Amino acid sequence: MTSTESTELTSLVYTSTASAPFRATALDHLLAQCRALNEAKELTGMLLYRGERFIQVLEGPADVVRRLARTIERDPRHHSMRVLLEEPLDERRFADWTMGYRSLQSEAAHVPDGFRDSFADLEDSSERSTTLRALAELTMWFRVRADQEVHA
């Protein structure tokens, strides 16, 4: 990092649409790339994928996060990238993950009330509070799933 770069910790959240459906092997390759790059740049975050839609949270120094977001926007593997939220952080939400990942797939024919079936409430909301609440719910869901897998 150069002396002119901002070291303020920032979180940036975006959604995008896959240019073509991602097979498991393509997702594995993407994750390997993300994790290596993020570790080298001291970035953390999570990536969710469902129905050809991505949502990603990036955390790290503001200038590094913004520069990576510009690079990601030009990646031909997806399109229609939309930044939902950018905010300063006091501490990282995903400090343990260079890139945590979950594929949101419904595992049952009947899903419980309140099941998040898409990212529509994140994408369609013009209310910052609605976006923050939906992101908090996704973050909690992600952490609970990760904890269950560790203790299983």
pLDDT means over runs of 10, the chain (152 residues) = 65 92 85 87 87 88 95 94 90 78 51 49 64 68 54 46
Strand ranges of the sheet holding 53-61, from the earlier edge strand across to the other edge? 78-88, 9-18, 53-61, 44-50, 100-103
* CA distances (Å), origin 41, targets 54, 72, 146: 21, 14, 23
Domain segments of the chain: what residues? 9-151
Q: What is the pTM of this model?
A: 0.71
The Cα 129–Cα 105 span in angstroms is: 26
Per-residue pLDDT, 144? 58
Per-residue pLDDT, 35? 86
Per-residue pLDDT, 136? 67
The Cα 75–Cα 19 span in angstroms is: 10
Per-residue pLDDT, 48? 82
Q: Which fold has domain 9-151?
A: Alpha-Beta Plaits (3.30.70)
Instruction: Give me the torsion for CA of 39, 41, 43, 46, rounded to 10°.
Output: -60
Per-residue pLDDT, 93? 84
